Amino acid sequence: MHGMISKPPGTATTNLATSRLVLLLLVVMTGIAPISLYILVPALPVLATTFGRDISIAQMTVSLYMVGIALSQLIMGPLSDKFGRRPVLLGGLALMVVASAACIFAETLPQLIAARFFQALGGASGMVVSRAIIRDIYARDRVASMISLVVAALMIGQMVSPLTGGLIETAFGWRAIFYAVTIAAIAVAIGIAIALPETRRSRAAGGGFRGDVGTLIKSRAFIGYVMCQVLASQIIFTFAGGGPYIVVTQMGRTSAEYGAWFATTGFAYLVGNLLCVRFAPRHSLEKLIWFGLGLQLCGSLLNLLWSFTGWNEAPAWLFGTQMIVMVGNAFVMANSAAGAISIRPEAAGTASGAMGFLQQGIGALMSQFGAYLGGHSATTLPLTAAVLAISLLCACTMIFVVPRRELMVSETLIEQAEEEENGMM
């Protein structure tokens, strides 16, 4: 979305590129918004009980948060091109701090939902601007590897954030979660103000956005890969939306225990990504997607079977089988995203923004849908049936929309594709 951006002077670029503190800042500014999303998930049933509202209303603290992330991806990038990286980052984090404080003192659930939206709108600036900063300070042949490093560290943080949120809520109450988020946002803002100089040196070249969009939407392959990638991401949002209600309400477990079980699916997703990068140079893109689709379908079919037998009323069965789905999901998401951005490489930024916006926008609805399925049923059957249906839609997209061809995907393309996943996981 940013176009071509000139590099800062060589010495300054080298100093920034070799700075471990700058790398740490890139990780935390990327992760502050998605981690703040997942850290509240285990406390959703408690919020519904505390405010005396339906669980679907409490779920809006997550679904509208994702809407905020989606809108931020469309807004913050162009603003950083026009006004610079530092002002947009600091302004976004300032908005996040104010919104997080509003969450602490919210007296009604609608107030909390509104504050969460603005928390996401400000916090997600780090997700968008960090990628622009990587382009600014690293040599072209290091950009993909640095993005992969940031995403890997981010995924680890996201895996432990539900467990952290569950432990905080169990020990200190749900408001303590927002105290932690506020302190973290302030710390990140101070770090950026002290240690991160402005990296933008000239305005991005403009005028190509509408043309890129027009070209991409005329490509059947692009539409197919994007549909497959976005549908695969909805498996995550749907399961994450219904999971806490099933574990806490149906199974009678604590929010901390749900956080621990949810972390297993994140670990499976990380393993799937690592395997995908390893196998990608030796196999075609479509073969890797179909391998992932096969795992998704097998895992979702098994979970549906366990729902009929009643076995997955225990967390070990539900999440153990879901781990199979998540390994396959990593293959589908990474390779379909790589296929989409390889259709028109010079428009990769536009393709990335479109996928990110669709992921979060549709994900907000699917998370709400998953919460309804998990909270208005006495069994896991509705949720596991929904996951299977989405898996089938992914397969249908590959069969009926994506043209049949053998497109080899390189490790570099997979690393670029992983950049698209840091707003969801």
Q: Which residues pair with 413 in a beta bridge?
A: none
Instruction: Name which of 276-285, 305-314, 331-340 the model is least confident about.
Output: 276-285
Higher pLDDT among residues 282 and 296, named by residue:
296
Q: Please tell me if the domain spanning 1-206 has the same topology as the one spanning 207-425.
A: yes
Q: Is the pLDDT of residue 241 over 90?
A: no
Rounded average pLDDT over 121-126: 90
What's the pTM?
Answer: 0.66
- Helix (H) or strand (E) segment spanning residue 160: helix 140-172
Q: What does the mean pLDDT of the chain come to?
A: 79
Share of the chain above pLDDT 70, in %: 77
Residue 403, SS3 per DSSP:
coil
Q: What's residue 213's pLDDT?
A: 67
pLDDT higher at 344 or 130? 130
131-178 confidence digits (pLDDT tens): 777 767 766 445 544 655 666 667 777 777 888 898 999 889 999 999
Of the listed ranges 1-15, 193-207, 240-254, 258-272, the least confidently predicted one is: 1-15
Determine the average pLDDT of the residues in 339-343.
70
For residue 300, which amino acid is it?
A: S
User: Which of 311, 300, 315, 168 lies closest to 248, judged by CA?
Assistant: 315
Alpha-carbon distance of 255 to 259, in angstroms, equals: 6
How many angstroms separate the CA atoms of 297 and 290, rounded? 10
Q: How confident is the model at residue 41 (pLDDT cuts 50, 70, 90)?
A: confident
Q: Which CATH code, of 3.40.50.300, 3.40.50.1820, 1.20.1250.20, 1.10.3720.10, is assigned to 1-206?
A: 1.20.1250.20
> CA nearest 116: which of 6, 41, 219, 11?
41
408 φ, ψ to 5°? -75, 135
Q: What mean pLDDT comes out for the span 260-275?
A: 82
For residue 284, list its beta bridge partners. Answer: 408
The dihedrals phi and psi of 248, each to the nearest 5 degrees, come to -80, -45
Distance CA 233, CA 333 (A): 7
Query: Could you give the CA distance from residue 106 to residue 110 in angstroms, rounded to a whole number?
Result: 9
pLDDT band at residue 300 under the 50/70/90 scheme: very high
Tokens 């997080």 found at: 100
Mean pLDDT value across residues 18-43? 84
Exposed, middle or buried: residue 13 (CB in 10 Å: 0-12, 13-18, 19+)?
A: middle
The band of 290, judged by pLDDT with boundaries at 50, 70 and 90, is very high
- Reported as a single tens digit per residue, the pLDDT across 84-101 is 789 989 999 999 999 999
> Which residue(s) pair with 176 in the sheet?
none
Tokens of 177: 């979660």
Decide yes or no: CATH 3.40.50.970 for domain 207-425. Answer: no
Q: Is the separation of the CB atoms in 44 and 16 below 8 Å?
A: no
Count CB atoms within 10 A of the CB of residue 396: 13
Q: How confident is the model at residue 405 (pLDDT cuts 50, 70, 90)?
A: low
Task: Decide if pLDDT at 20 tops 90.
Answer: no
Lowest average pLDDT, out of 71-75, 151-155, 288-292, goes to: 151-155
Please tell me the predicted confidence (pLDDT) of residue 16: 59
Q: What residue spans define the domains of the chain?
A: 1-206, 207-425
